[in-house]
Amino acid sequence: MPCVHLASMKPTLSAKCDRACARGRCYHEAVGTERRQHPRYSLRRQVTVRCRGQRFAAWTVDVSTGGIKLRMQFRPQPGDILEVEMPASGAGVMITPARVRHVRAHPDGVSVGALWMPAGSRVDPE
């Protein structure tokens, strides 16, 4: 039986809710609501990503104090550690490790969500 909240949701969200309801686990209150701890800020910037001993070009989509969303051609695996290299204003390049949480197909390659691991951040002078 479809969830009574389906009419107010986007089609892709209502399909998720419908599947959950069918399994007896409706999560309509969580679907479509913001569940992140930190606000995201749109940031379009080319960065370099290191993973498994290789370097790749990537584009940032958004950032927060908790993580980053990237678009790239390289497909990391969830759990991989990325080193994200970003220019630091007048200080060289900031290198911050991030653990991959999810990887999704995207027309431009893949979309990668990763959580910052700030304890390993460093700045390399140019």
Q: d(Cα 28, Cα 26) in Å, to the nearest integer?
A: 6
Alpha helices (H) along the chain: 11-22
Tokens of 51: 């993973």
> pLDDT at residue 76 above 60?
yes
Whole-prediction pTM: 0.68
Structural domains of the chain, ranges and CATH numbers in brackets: 1-35 (no CATH), 41-124 (2.40.10.220)
Residue 120 has pLDDT above 60, yes or no: yes
Of 28-42, 56-70, 87-101, the poorest mean pLDDT is in: 28-42
What is the model's pLDDT at position 119?
Answer: 83
Name the burial class of residue 62, with classes exposed (0-12), middle (13-18) and buried (19+) by CB atoms within 10 angstroms of its CB: middle
